[in-house]
Chain A
Amino acid sequence: MFCYQCEQTFRSDNKAGCAGAKGMCGKDAATADLQDVLLHVCEGIGQYLHRARRLGATDAEADRFLLFAFFTTLTNVNFSAAKFVEFIQRAAQLRDGAKALYEKAAREAGETPETLSGAAAFVPAKDMAGLLAQAGEAAIRKDVARLGEDVVGLRALVLYGLKGVCAYAHHACVLGEERDAIYAAVEHALDLLASEPEDIGPLLDEALALGRANFLAMEALDAANTGNFGTPEPTSVRVTPIKGKAILVSGHDLKDLHAILEATKDKGINVYTHGELLPAHSYPALRSYPHLAGNYGGAWQDQQKEFAEFPGPIVMTSNCLIEPQPRYRARIFTAGPVGWPGVRHIANEDFTQVVQAALALPGFAEDAEEQRITVGFGRAAVLGVADKVIDAVKSGAIRHFFMIGGCDGAAPGRNYYADFAHATPDDTVILTLGCGKYRFNKHDFGTVGGLPRLLDMGQCNDAYSALVVATKLAEAFGVGVNELPLSLIVSWFEQKAAAVLLTLLALGVRNVRLGPTLPAFLTPALVDVLVEKFGVLPIGDARADIDAALSRAA
Chain B
Amino acid sequence: MFKVELLTRDGAAIAFDAEPSENLLAAAERANIYLPSSCREGACGACRVTHASGDIELDAYSSAALSDAERAAGGILLCRAHAHGDVALHAPFDAASIGFAPTPQRRATIVDIGPAGARAMRIVLQYEEDPEFGRAAQFVAGQFGELEIPESGIRRSYSLANAPNWDGKLEFLIRLQPGGAFSTYLRERASIGDALIVHGPKGQFTLDEASLAPRWFVAGGTGLAPALSMLRHMAELADPCPARLFFGVNRVDELFALDALEEIRAALPQLAVTICVWAPETPPETRWRGFAGTPAEALAQSLANASERPDIYVCGPPALITAVETVALAGGAGATYAERFSAA
Let me know if B133 is at the binding interface, CB within 8 A: yes
B-side contacts of A363, CB under 8 Å: 134
Let me know if A450 is at the binding interface, CB within 8 A: no
Let me know if A362 is at the binding interface, CB within 8 A: yes
Let me know if B236 is at the binding interface, CB within 8 A: yes
Residues in B49-101 with C-beta less than 8 Å from chain A: 96-97, 99-101
By secondary structure, the B interface counts as loop
Q: Report if A342-B233 is in contact (Cβ < 8 Å); known contacts: A128-B212, A365-B131.
A: yes
A357 and B164 CA atoms in complex are apart in Å by: 11
Residues in A21-55 with C-beta less than 8 Å from chain B: 22, 28, 30
Contact B133 A327 (CB under 8 A): no
Neighbour of B10 across the interface among A22, A86, A345, A365, CB < 8 A:
A22
Let me know if B111 is at the binding interface, CB within 8 A: no
A323 and B94 CA atoms in complex are apart in Å by: 12
Let me know if B253 is at the binding interface, CB within 8 A: no
Contact A362 B308 (CB under 8 A): no
Contact A82 B240 (CB under 8 A): yes
B97 CB → nearest A CB, Å: 7
A-side contacts of B101, CB under 8 Å: 308, 327
Let me know if A129 is at the binding interface, CB within 8 A: yes
Let me know if B151 is at the binding interface, CB within 8 A: no
A-B contact count (CB 8 A): 65
Contact B237 A342 (CB under 8 A): yes
- Nearest CB in chain B to that of A305: its residue: B100
Let me know if A325 is at the binding interface, CB within 8 A: yes
A329 CB → nearest B CB, Å: 6
A-side contacts of B136, CB under 8 Å: 330-331, 357, 360-361
A191 CB → nearest B CB, Å: 32
Contact A362 B236 (CB under 8 A): no
Neighbour of A327 across the interface among B99, B166, B236, CB < 8 A:
B99
Let me know if B140 is at the binding interface, CB within 8 A: yes
Neighbour of B135 across the interface among A128, A344, A345, A360, CB < 8 A:
A360
Contact B134 A360 (CB under 8 A): yes
Kindly supply a per-residue 1/0 record for chain B positions 228-242, scoring 1 wherever the CB is within 8 Å of any chain A CB and 0 otherwise: 000001001101110
Contact A361 B236 (CB under 8 A): no
Contact A82 B239 (CB under 8 A): yes
A-side contacts of B236, CB under 8 Å: 344
B-side contacts of A311, CB under 8 Å: 134
User: What total of chain B residues lie within 8 Å of the partner, measured CB to CB?
Assistant: 31
B-side contacts of A195, CB under 8 Å: none
Residues in B166-221 with C-beta less than 8 Å from chain A: 166-168, 207, 209-210, 212
A-side contacts of B140, CB under 8 Å: 326, 329-330
Contact B237 A360 (CB under 8 A): no
Q: Report if A326-B99 is in contact (Cβ < 8 Å); known contacts: A81-B212, A82-B239, A360-B168.
A: yes
Let me know if B139 is at the binding interface, CB within 8 A: yes
Let me know if B259 is at the binding interface, CB within 8 A: no
User: What total of chain A residues lie within 8 Å of the partner, measured CB to CB?
Assistant: 32
Contact A341 B210 (CB under 8 A): yes
A480 and B135 CA atoms in complex are apart in Å by: 61
Let me know if A393 is at the binding interface, CB within 8 A: no
Let me know if B130 is at the binding interface, CB within 8 A: yes
A85 and B237 CA atoms in complex are apart in Å by: 16
B237 CB → nearest A CB, Å: 7
Let me know if B138 is at the binding interface, CB within 8 A: yes
Q: Report if A342-B207 is in contact (Cβ < 8 Å); known contacts: A325-B96, A331-B136.
A: yes
B297 CB → nearest A CB, Å: 28
A86 CB → nearest B CB, Å: 8
Let me know if B285 is at the binding interface, CB within 8 A: no
Residues in A346-378 with C-beta less than 8 Å from chain B: 353, 356-357, 359-363, 365
Kindly supply a per-residue 1/0 record for chain B positions 129-173, scoring 1 wherever the CB is within 8 Å of any chain A CB and 0 otherwise: 011111110111000000000000000000000001011100000
A539 and B286 CA atoms in complex are apart in Å by: 79
B13 CB → nearest A CB, Å: 15
Kindly supply a per-residue 1/0 record for chain A positions 110-133, scoring 1 wherever the CB is within 8 Å of any chain B CB and 0 otherwise: 000000000000000000110000
A86 and B241 CA atoms in complex are apart in Å by: 12
A187 and B236 CA atoms in complex are apart in Å by: 37
Contact B139 A362 (CB under 8 A): no
A307 and B168 CA atoms in complex are apart in Å by: 21
B-side contacts of A356, CB under 8 Å: 166
B-side contacts of A329, CB under 8 Å: 140
Neighbour of A326 across the interface among B96, B130, B131, CB < 8 A:
B96
Contact A341 B131 (CB under 8 A): no
Neighbour of B237 across the interface among A325, A344, A361, CB < 8 A:
A344
- Nearest CB in chain A to that of B136: its residue: A360
Contact B241 A362 (CB under 8 A): no
A327 and B133 CA atoms in complex are apart in Å by: 12
B81 CB → nearest A CB, Å: 24
A362 and B138 CA atoms in complex are apart in Å by: 12
Contact A362 B166 (CB under 8 A): no
B144 CB → nearest A CB, Å: 14
Neighbour of B210 across the interface among A28, A327, A344, CB < 8 A:
A28
A312 CB → nearest B CB, Å: 8
A26 CB → nearest B CB, Å: 9
Neighbour of B166 across the interface among A129, A325, A341, A360, CB < 8 A:
A360
B-side contacts of A327, CB under 8 Å: 99-101
Neighbour of B133 across the interface among A22, A28, A81, A362, CB < 8 A:
A362
B-side contacts of A82, CB under 8 Å: 239-241
A236 CB → nearest B CB, Å: 30
Contact B237 A362 (CB under 8 A): no
Neighbour of B96 across the interface among A30, A323, A331, A360, CB < 8 A:
A323
Residues in B237-256 with C-beta less than 8 Å from chain A: 237, 239-241
A-side contacts of B167, CB under 8 Å: 360
- Nearest CB in chain A to that of B143: its residue: A326
Q: Report if A30-B212 is in contact (Cβ < 8 Å); known contacts: A344-B236, A353-B166.
A: yes
A464 and B344 CA atoms in complex are apart in Å by: 65
A160 and B147 CA atoms in complex are apart in Å by: 52
A342 and B142 CA atoms in complex are apart in Å by: 12
A128 and B210 CA atoms in complex are apart in Å by: 13
B-side contacts of A331, CB under 8 Å: 136, 138
A256 CB → nearest B CB, Å: 19
A82 and B215 CA atoms in complex are apart in Å by: 14
Having A85-B240, A356-B166, A361-B134, one finds 4 other A-B pairs with CB under 8 Å, namely: A22-B10, A326-B99, A342-B239, A365-B132
What are 10 A-B interface contacts by the 8 Å CB criterion?
A30-B212, A323-B96, A325-B96, A326-B140, A330-B136, A342-B209, A342-B237, A353-B166, A360-B166, A360-B167
Across the A-B interface, the 7 shortest Cβ-Cβ residue pairs? A360-B136, A341-B209, A342-B209, A360-B166, A362-B134, A330-B138, A361-B134
